[in-house]
Chains A and B, each alone.
Chain A
Amino acid sequence: MSNVREYLYKFLVVGDLGTGKTSIIKRYVHNIFSMHYKSTIGVDFALKVIQWSPEIVVRLQLWDIAGQERFGNMTRVYYKEALGAFVVYDVTRPQTFEGVRKWKADLDSKISLPEAWGGGNIPVVLLANKSDLIGEGHGQHANPTEMDTFCKENGFIKWFETSAKDNTNIDEAARHLVTTILGIEREHLDRHDAENFENNNQQLRVDSRDKNRNDGGCC
């Protein structure tokens, strides 16, 4: 066995209907973009495996709200064990920005980081999507100062202007979120290990696979 450490992170992608959540995921994971995207039936999340550094592999699960849960009625299954999230709005439709606060409040009220990581809010990145349309005369660029203030006031760790169509800033946004979480994990690593050592009361899964599979964290 080499010294490669593997991390499994679950990220949520939320935002109002039609803000491009699925396109962002498709672009990031499969590097494809289509104007006429139909939701994938029967799949919970898209998985991207990143060779982060020679020693670190990150397996990233991106959970879409499946369009169907469009009224914000997500189950606990969706939220639980998520370690980070993107809130997406559409720069050409200002009303979708109004939903941003609601989504952030929803995330904060339903998920927190593991107890061993301090139990605070999970890091959330704000995405101002469809920036490619600005060039075509729809909507306008976000004001960086205003956006910085907005993020600070509402607890977003950072914002990015993205385009799934032109593949702008999506990798950067994901990298920022992964970096943040790796940082939090490293910060709490010692305590986390101690906790795991004490906590030998393992949870059970009803699964035909190996019962002792290690979920989340590092293997």
Chain B
Amino acid sequence: MNLDQTEFDYIILGTGLTESILAAAIAKTGKSVLHVDDADYYGGKWAAHSFGDLLKWIRTQRLDGDIANKETNDAPPSLNGLSIDGKHAVNVNALKARNESIRHVSFFCYPTESDNITEDDKSTLYSDTNILLDMNRESPLDYARDTIVKALSDRFTNPSKITKEAIEFEVDQLVLGFPPTSSFSLDIKDSIGRVQTLKEALDASRHYNFDLSPKLLSCRGEMVEVLIKSGIGRYLEFKGLEESYVFEAESQTFDKVPISKEDVFSTDTIALIDKRKLMRFLTLAMSDEIDPSILETYGNQPFKTMLEEKFKINGKLQMAIIYAIALVHDDAEKVSASEGLEKTRAYLKSLGRFGRCAFLRPLYGGASEVAQAFCRACAVHGGIYMLNQPVDKFLLNEDRSQASGIVTRDGQQFTSKWIIGSMEYMNEEWISKQAEEESTRWTSRAILITNEPPIISEGSEKENIRFSVFPPSEQDDIAKPIFALQLSIESMSCPRNKYMTYLSVISDEPERDAKSELEKAVEKLIKNSEHIQPLFLLYYKQRSQESSLIATDSIPKNIIACSDPDELLDLDEPLSEAQKVFIRCCGEDEEFLPAPEVDPDLEE
């Protein structure tokens, strides 16, 4: 893939949300933009994957140690500083950095039986499922893999390409835990079931959108305003988040959280006396002028204290307000009353703009869809896109204070006045070790696929988009609030009659595996109804680095870093970062994403 044009005003590395917003904003000013990503998909760390691509992603993560080593061998650090045409060359290794940002990946597939298999098929499938593996030989794992692949393939009559893919994946997962030597008998009954589960999902691969950094748009957030004003919003469709729940440890049930005045009056999960307290609190939070004496007394005290002392709100109602309305992500003790009121107010203000929800979910893949809308806007304004194009080096001037361009893996050089890139494109030496601790956070995440919606209340549509929070609970060994977002075909997240639930929790312990931090909540979801059959479950831990990690005295002046996706639900933080970067590299006078001059609907 060779490009004739080699000089640009801006080169943007990575197609994550922040970089994509910038690509569109810059292209709209009439400047030339080259937008590059080393992956063959849009979105970087914000990407959403089909089922087939998710399996590939899992394989990559499983092999990440190997890949990281190989990459390092390909481009040893000593090459840092090598000169090309008189310029200093500094390494980029986005793939390695991207892989290092994910830890503790574990994937579970549950055995099922295809609906359309006959009794005859069944007897072939499940006849004598024990196979003997004698590992005392050379290359025991290859032998085990080949033997099991054959044993499984023989059971499926004329296995399709997809069945073969399912078998390969299953067997690769299976042999991971095998002992190197010894002989043992293996029952492959569950493997046969898992191959069927995998095959069904692979057949519907494109209908799955696994969002690695699941996000929502706040109905009154800045992102919605920018999408409307710039016209880029017309590329997107959304579903409203219709219901919120809070998990109640005492009764072990999911209770619906009233979010509007009508809700408060009609709900039967709240006692009348609590309704009055709640209304009193909500009215205060919404009022334009909050009685200064309240802020004076409680402003700097914990939010919790104000709820208890001022409004006599305790127990599950307090939990619902703190975690499901104010959406406090961390320890409630750390949130002050004024901050809590501000968050409550933001939530209440977002209600009623688009139906009765406070948040919108972009159809298909969340933030990666929003990023792609900005990329399309950049492309129609002349931006050039090159995906699947690994970047190898930055070219710097003598004293390394300015970058002049990049070199791609296949040796093409592109020059530009500015280079903007996501964190994984930054050279390791630019990262400040001191800032590393405070600017790096970890989030443990899980994605659960089931055949029935785990969170649902009587009388509501199965397909509705729901949000639930598991407040901290000693009883359930939950230290920080766990958020769960349940999606369906309505948000184009998965095929019909399947349900996709995202769980996340902030993690203070990078070394602790994601599973141990989330499995309690996952268990409660699966056990919430006896009809729930889990199909897939993925755990991983995701690192989030802020661009403030970059030491300003070591990075060239015209290279700007963009932060990773954060642990927050909405998209206002990346937008605000993009606006700051835009001012820095385009100047105060340029308008950020102005309204379009031509209305495509009117052009004939």
Contact = CB atoms under 8 A, between A and B. Distances in A.
Given A43-B598, A76-B372, A71 B360 contact: no
B265 interface: no
Interface in A64-108: 66, 68-71, 73, 75-78, 80
Contact of B597 (A42, A46, A66, A76): A42
A36 B409 CA distance: 34
Given A205-B233, A205-B234, A66 B386 contact: no
Contacts of B463: 201
B603 A76 contact: no
B382 interface: yes
Interface stretch (A137-145, A157-165, A206-214): A206-214
A206 B369 contact: no
Contacts of A42: 28, 380-381, 596-598
Contacts of A4: none
Nearest to A68: B379
B237 A69 contact: no
Contacts of B273: none
Contact of B369 (A49, A76, A204): A76
B360 A75 contact: no
Contact of B379 (A69, A207, A208): A69
Interface in A191-219: 201, 203-208, 211
A41 B234 CA distance: 17
A146 to B, nearest CB: 28
A113 B39 CA distance: 28
A68 B239 contact: no
Nearest to A109: B206
A44 to B, nearest CB: 5
A152 interface: no
A78 B376 CA distance: 7
A71 B224 CA distance: 31
A120 B224 CA distance: 34
A78 B375 CA distance: 10
B509 to A, nearest CB: 37
Contacts, number: 105
Contact of A43 (B233, B234, B240, B380): B380
A44 B380 contact: yes
Contacts of B382: 39, 41, 68
Interface string B452-470: 0000000001011000000
Contacts of A45: 600
B490 A75 contact: no
Contacts of A43: 380, 598, 600, 603
Contact of B238 (A29, A76, A206): A206
A71 B380 contact: no
Contacts of B228: 206-208
Interface string B483-515: 000000010000010000000000000000000
B385 A205 contact: no
Given A44-B380, A71-B1, A75-B376, A205 B238 contact: yes
Contact of A204 (B355, B373, B375): B355
A5 interface: no
B238 to A, nearest CB: 4
Contacts of A73: 40, 42, 385-388
B604 A48 contact: yes
B32 to A, nearest CB: 11
Interface in B227-261: 227-228, 233-240
A108 B486 CA distance: 29
A211 B233 CA distance: 12
Contact of B385 (A68, A109, A115, A201): A68
A204 B240 contact: yes
A206 B360 contact: yes
Given A41-B381, A66-B380, 6 more contacts: A69-B379, A70-B384, A71-B386, A77-B376, A110-B206, A204-B240
5 contacts: A73-B387, A75-B372, A205-B237, A205-B238, A206-B233
Q: Sort A-B residue pairs by CB-CB distance and give the 10 closest, nearest first.
A: A75-B372, A73-B387, A77-B376, A206-B233, A68-B379, A77-B235, A204-B238, A203-B237, A75-B376, A73-B385
